[in-house]
Chains A and B, each alone.
Chain A
Amino acid sequence: MTWVTWRQYRYQGALAAALLAALAVVLLITGLHLAQVWHSALAGCMKDGSCGGLSLQSPALTTLVVGTSAVPLLPGLFWGAQMVAHELETGTNQFAWTQSITRRRWLAVRTGWLLLAAAVLAGAVSALVTWWSGPGNALYGNAFEVNKFDVTDIAPVGYAVFAMSLGICAGTVLRRTLPALAITLAGFVGIRALIAQSLRPHYLTPVTVYYNLMGPPPVTGSYLGVSQGVVGPNGKPPVGLGGYVFNGGPVPAACANAVQNPAPCMVAHGYREYLAYQPASRFWAFQGIETGIFVVLAAVLLGITFWVLARRDA
C-alpha cells in the first residue's frame, strides 16, 4: 500500500519539494544577508540605542514570511480533501477496495503517509522561517505576535496535521472533492482564527503588572498581551461619567472637574494602569499547547473518518 500511495502521489510530492526548494533559496539568501547586517550593526546601535531605526526586513519578504502561514493548509487542501472523495467520484474506490486489503488499512496507510508529508513540509518551511526571523524577532521582541508565533517553531506542524485530517474527513463525509475543499479552507481559516484570537491568550493564567498612568508597561522582550486598562484603588475599573474617555476607559466621577486632562486627578485618586500578559518565558509552553490542541482536533477528525469509512457503504 505504501508503494501504491507513492505511485499515486509522486508527482504532487515532487511539485511540493520543488516549491519548498524555491522558498528555501529565497529565504537562505536573504536570511544570510540579514544575519550579516544584524551582527555588524548590532554592536554600533546597541551602544547609542538606535537599534529601533535598524531596518532589517523588506515589506515584500515580510509578506512572504507571513504568507507561509498558508503553507500548513495547502497539503490538506490539495491532497487531503481529494484523497477519498476523488476515488468515490471516479468509482476507483471499487477497484481499490476489492483488492485484498481492507478499507481500514487502505485508509490508514494513505493517511499516515500524507500526514507525514504534510508535517515534514510544514516543519521544513517553519524551520526556515524560524531561522530567518531570528534576528528580527530578537530586535523587535515580537516572537509572540500572531504573525510570528503562527509561522515559527512547532505550531505549523500541528496546523498541517490538522488541515490534512480536516481535508480527509471532509472528503470522506461529503464524498465530493469540491465541497470538501471549501469546507477544508473555511474550517481551517475559521478554527485557526478562533483559537488564535479567543483561546490562545488564556492557555495559562496571565501575569498582571500595575504601573503608573500613562507610563510604559514594565515588561520587556516578547510577550503576548491579554488585556490592558485602568483600575482604581479598589482594583476595579473606574465608574464613569458618560461621554468622557481616558485610556480606553471612562473618566471616573471623582475627576469630573478635570475631564480635559484627567491624568493628575486620577493619579491622585489612586488610579493606575495594569497589563495582563503572557511572558516570553512561556513561549515554548504556548507552542506546545497550541500544537497539542490541533493534534487532538486532528485525531478526532481522523476518528470520524475511520468510523464513517468502515460503516458506510462504499
Chain B
Amino acid sequence: MTAVIETSGLTKRYRRVTALSDCTISVPEGRIAALVGPNGAGKTTLLRLLAGLATPSAGQAVVLGGPPRQDPAYLAEIGFLAQDIPLYRRMTAQDHIGVGAHLNPRWDGESVPDRLSSLKIPLDQPVGTLSGGQRAQVALALTLAKRPRLLLLDEPLAALDPLARRNFLAMLAEAAVGGNLTILLSSHLIADIERVCDHLILLAASRVQLCGDVDTLLAEHRILTGPRRDTTVIARTHAIVREDTTPRQTTLLVRLTGPVADPAWAVADPNLEEIVLGYMSQDDPAYGAGPEAARLSAVGGDR
C-alpha cells in the first residue's frame, strides 16, 4: 500500500520552543488516521507542516509524492480545516461556495448544498450567525467540495456537542467511502474517533510515541494484572509501556512480542483509550516515568 504521508525526522522549532521534534510517521492511502496527544504535543504544527502553511526547521515530509509546497496542483490535492473553523464570518455559505468555485480547479459546488440541506443548515445566512456545529459542517462540506485526496483536520470535533459530533463524523465516514480519500484528523476525543479511525498516531512531548494500524495496535497490547512483584522477568520478553503498582497488585500495559507464558498474570485486551493513555502518561511525572524501551520500539510499528 502506498503511503500518502511519509515524514522523516520532521522538526519545527520556533524561536524558543520546539513544537515538533524528529517526527517520523507514515499514513497509507485510504486510511482515516487519528492524531492524538496532549495539548501542546505538536499536532497542529504537524498538520500545518503537511498543509504547507508552515515550513519545517529540519527533516522532511513527503505528501502525495512530493514535499508540501506553494503550488496550485499540490494545494488542489489537500483539504485543510484549521482549528476554530475559520471562515469569513460576514459571508454566507453560498458566498463561500462561490469563493471555492473561483479558486479550485476540481470544485464540486453542488455537493455542499446536498450535504448541508439534510442537516437543515441555511446557505443564505452569514456563517458568523451559525452555531459552532453548523459552522464546522459548512467548513467540512466546503473542504470536501475541493475533492481533495488528503484531508487534514485540526480538532474539528472540539467545539461540537455530541450530536453534532456524530453528524460530523458521519459526513466524514461517508466521504471516505471509496478509498481514494485519506484523512488525518487530530482530536482529544478518543472514544469518538475510535469508531471511525483505523490508523493512530500518538504525539506526546513533541515526539511520535506510536504510529500504526489500530487493529494491529489493539492486537499487540495487553493489560496484565497480577499480585505485586518484580517485573524484570516479564520485561525481558515484553516491552512494558506502563506500570501501576498498589501495595497488593501490579497492573502492566505491555506491548507483546509473543505469548504471555506466566500463568500468574491475568491477561485482558485494552481498548484504544487505555493504550493511548498508557503511552501519554509515560511522560507525566505524576505517574512516574515509563520504560524508555517500550516507547522506542513502538515508533514506526506499522507494518
Contacts and interface: CB of A to CB of B under 8 A. Distances in A.
Contact of A99 (B54, B86, B89, B146): B146
Contacts of B104: 99-100
B70 A310 contact: yes
A8 B88 contact: yes
Interface residues of B, number: 33
Interface string A179-199: 000000000000000000000
A92 B88 contact: yes
Nearest to A100: B76
Interface stretch (B91-99, B164-172, B233-241, B279-287): B91-99
B126 to A, nearest CB: 13
Contacts of B179: none
B133 interface: no
B82 A99 contact: no
A310 B146 CA distance: 23
A98 B99 contact: no
A313 B54 contact: yes
A99 B100 CA distance: 7
A1 B53 contact: no
Contact of B87 (A1, A92, A97): A92
Given A7-B91, A91-B82, A92-B87, A99 B53 contact: no
Nearest to B78: A98
A10 to B, nearest CB: 11
Contacts of A90: 86, 89
Nearest to A3: B102
A114 to B, nearest CB: 17
B103 interface: yes
B79 interface: yes
A94 interface: yes
Contact of B72 (A3, A92, A102): A102
A98 B88 contact: no
A216 B70 CA distance: 67
A4 B55 contact: no
Given A7-B98, A95-B87, A314 B54 contact: yes
Interface string B202-235: 0000000000000000000000000000000000
A100 B98 contact: no
B111 to A, nearest CB: 16
A104 interface: yes
Contacts of B291: none
A175 interface: no
Contacts of A1: 102-103
B70 A98 contact: no
Contacts of B53: 94, 97-98, 313-314
A99 B103 contact: yes
Given A8-B88, A94-B82, 6 more contacts: A7-B95, A91-B82, A91-B83, A95-B87, A100-B105, A313-B53
17 contacts: A3-B98, A4-B98, A4-B99, A7-B98, A91-B84, A91-B86, A94-B82, A95-B82, A95-B86, A95-B87, A98-B51, A98-B78, A100-B72, A100-B105, A102-B71, A103-B70, A313-B48
Pairs A-B, 3 closest by C-beta atoms? A91-B86, A99-B103, A100-B76
